[in-house]
Amino acid sequence: MNQYDSCWLRYERVPDGRLDSYRRRCRHAYIAEKAPELSAVRDELRRALPDLLGSDPHLWQHPPTTADGFLAIGTPDDMAMIAESVPTDVVDDLADGGYLLKSVTWNGQDCLVVTASTDRGLVYGTFHLLRLLNTHEPVDDLDVREEPAYENRLLNQWDTPFHRSVERGYGGESIFDWERLPDLRPRYEDYARLLASVGVNGIVFNNVNTTKPERASANAAFDAFEGWQLLESHRLEAFTSLASVFRRYGIRPYLSVNFAAPMLVGDLDTADPLDEEVQAWWREKADEIYELVPDFGGFLVKADSEGQPGPYDYGRDHVDGANAIARALEPHGGRVWWRAFVYGTHEDRAVQAYDTFEPLDGDFDDNVTVQIKNGPIDFQPREPVSTLFGAMPETDLGLELQITQEYTGQGVHATYHLPMWEEIFDFDTHADGPGSPVHSLFRDDGEGVVGVGSVGEDHSWTGTYLAQANLYAFGRVAWDPEASAEAVTEEWVRQTFGGDEEVVDTVTRILHDSWEACIDYETGGLGLMHMMHNGEEYLENHYYPSPEEWPGYHGATEEGIGVDRTSTGSGYAGQYRDPVAERYESVEDCPEELLLFFHHLPWTHELADGTTVVQRLYDNCFAGVEETKRLRDEWQSLEGEIDERRFRHVAERFEEQVAQAERWRDVLTDYFYDYSSVADEQGRVGDD
Ligand code: BDP
């Protein structure tokens, strides 16, 4: 990775203390020879071991005839040494992707075994082992058993093909050059390596918006090059080529498709899901794709939302729409991921997804997954979790998180999403009584976790080097949502910035404190949200403050602020199961950090500690800025401790983040003051 950053896959020389043990066990490696995944494993060892160990490893295709210890990677069927070192039934029991790492003695030599029941598992196991070496962990007593929590761990790339742009991508233009494919770029493989190293096992290559809304009506001329065109027969070669890169890393390829594809790509005059010709068209298209890409994962569909066509155009519902497409994929083992991000007639958008989808529970085909954003609005800095989680027991569900920082400072601010995701995963839905946290859902076959991607052409991949942590953390949390956030973060920092303890502590702290700071300056911290500018300018969009654009989302009036989503308002709180619904219904019991999401309250309403609502909003906005300055200073303290390029890049972004945080603070506090006419106790707001 020369023209761009290696992210967390930079393999640097291990310090002497550990070197002996690593060399003893890894100077030779014996890797099974069969699947494409194994050749990827071989390549990774060739990249990693010389840099880590300072010596070229010998990679054997046959059991090594050496007096040294060695690393063996394969299934028990591949190698007698593995079959004899680990119980075969234990390996066979592992879920797809699961693996074992074990230190063993073989012929009197110290060896290491990476084994799994599937080739994909061997890829993950190898990356896990390399992570241990890279973070200087001991390997002399290894006995690791890992399985992914969820069957599906998908990346949704929101790239707009042929435009090289990325919707909500803040790390530069798209890395995927569809005009030049099937020619491949090294960057594709490096991306696959990054994803596989954290356990991602599927990628949707294109944006959920497969056409511009203004051209999405059935009669408009669909002449622009956009995502829907990837289904055209002559373009499938490009897709096939890209798929072959990701396949080597155990990553299944998917496509976002346009619901009107039978008209756009085919020449039908309807896309009515109940029309037999439409169904036949989807079947033929699926057959054509599977002929070329046998491991194709399926289609992602955004229908009847933000101008994209859908079943409503034909008086049908989401079940009709999803099932018609799913039936075409079913004979091939493919799946439809059908998004629940829909608008409707409700004044309060929060109630819409549940209202639309909950009544359809049980009617979707087995190979349909309903993909739901983490919150009811839209990836805001903090939202309550979606009411749909746990509400559709008869339907496969997927949780959609946003890795890219659309509303949390984009490619500039250091805003780490892992603490937010941890809060989401730990939330008790009470779906099956108390003790039904979000992380316990999505565990059936066909379910899983999805992340909206963040990478682009920038050297950093993600706009700012620190945002790489969000991509890393997504994969790790989709693998194990109960893993300790501190451990995951520290792991990322050690691999990315090396093992200096001061650097590790400082960067880990910065990341962990960053999310709350962002909430404070961008929202005031009491559950307000969606107060950003919605401009036409690419980089202005969703970046600057502009509360006056969105009265419906924050509900500011002269009397008070917040949105009544209780039974006296939109009724959204009532979509949760008790006691969650009761908790949110009640002003006293509602957690303070979500208070104004559920309640419209007088500006001078007193919070538990006696502070008024408006004063708390002022205080939080100011605290968010102070905290951001503190984080910037912490970063500054690392000067000379990490390489100049990354140090300066992040330092410059921190300066901008502080300026932006001040801007948010000033706009929001002035706005609160203008409505409330309540002076800030500390005289910081208004009347200057
Ligand atoms: C919003 C984004 C928009 C996406 C939409 C979606 O602003 O670009 O198209 O979500 O999820 O957050 O479909």
- Residue 99: the pLDDT is 98
Both tokens of residue 168?
Answer: 């909500």
- Residue 686: the pLDDT is 78
- Residue 619: the pLDDT is 98
**pTM here?**
0.97
User: Which residue out of 159, 168, 305 has the highest number of ligand 1 atoms within 8 Å of its CB and is therefore the one to mutate?
Assistant: 168
> What is the pLDDT averaged over residues 464-485?
98
Instruction: Report the atom number in ligand 1 closest to the C-alpha of 379.
Output: 12
The angle formed by the CA atoms of residues 96, 99 and 104, to the nearest 5 degrees, is 155
Q: How far apart are the first and last CA of the chain?
A: 53
pLDDT in tens, 327-356: 999 999 999 999 999 988 888 999 999 999
pLDDT in tens, 501-543: 999 999 999 999 999 999 999 999 999 999 999 977 656 689 9
Instruction: Check pocket membership of 407 for ligand 1, CB cut-off 6 A.
Output: no
Return the residue matching tokens 């549940």.
354
> What is the pLDDT averaged over residues 491-504?
97
Q: How far is CA 333 from the centre of its chain?
A: 24
Instruction: Check pocket membership of 349 for ligand 1, CB cut-off 6 A.
Output: no
**Taking the domains of the chain in order of start, what are their residue ranges?**
16-146, 154-497, 519-563+600-676
Q: Is the dihedral of CA 281, 287, 291, 292 positive or negative?
A: positive
- Ligand 1 centre distance from Cα of residue 156 (Å): 12
The DSSP secondary-structure symbol of 14 reads P
Question: 611, 595 in Cβ contact below 8 A?
Answer: no
Share the mean pLDDT of the chain. Answer: 95
Question: 441, 429 in Cβ contact below 8 A?
Answer: yes
Q: Does residue 579 have a cis bond before it (omega within 30 degrees)? A: yes
Q: Which fold has domain 154-497?
A: TIM Barrel (3.20.20)
- Residue 33: the pLDDT is 82
pLDDT in tens, 284-326: 999 999 999 999 999 999 999 998 999 999 999 999 999 999 9
- Residue 225: the pLDDT is 60
Backbone angles phi and psi of 300, in degrees to 5? -105, 135
pLDDT tier at 218, thresholds 50, 70, 90: very low
- Alpha-carbon distances of 36 from 118, 250, 524, 657, rounded to whole Å: 12, 9, 51, 44
Q: Which positions are annotated as active-site residues?
A: 306, 378, 406
Q: What is the rounded distance in angstroms from the CA atom of residue 48 to the CA atom of residue 57?
A: 10
The domain over range 519-563+600-676 is classified in CATH as 3.90.1330.10: yes
Q: Which fold has domain 16-146?
A: Chitobiase; domain 2 (3.30.379)
User: 144: helix, coil or strand?
Assistant: strand
Instruction: Check pocket membership of 379 for ligand 1, CB cut-off 6 A.
Output: yes
Among residues 4, 84, 553, the alpha carbon closest in space to that of 545 is found at 553
pLDDT in tens, 113-141: 999 999 999 999 999 999 999 999 999 99
- Alpha-carbon distances of 38 from 75, 120, 171, 250, 681, rounded to whole Å: 11, 9, 31, 10, 65
pLDDT surpassing 60 at residue 23: yes
Q: Is the dihedral of CA 560, 563, 567, 569 positive or negative?
A: positive
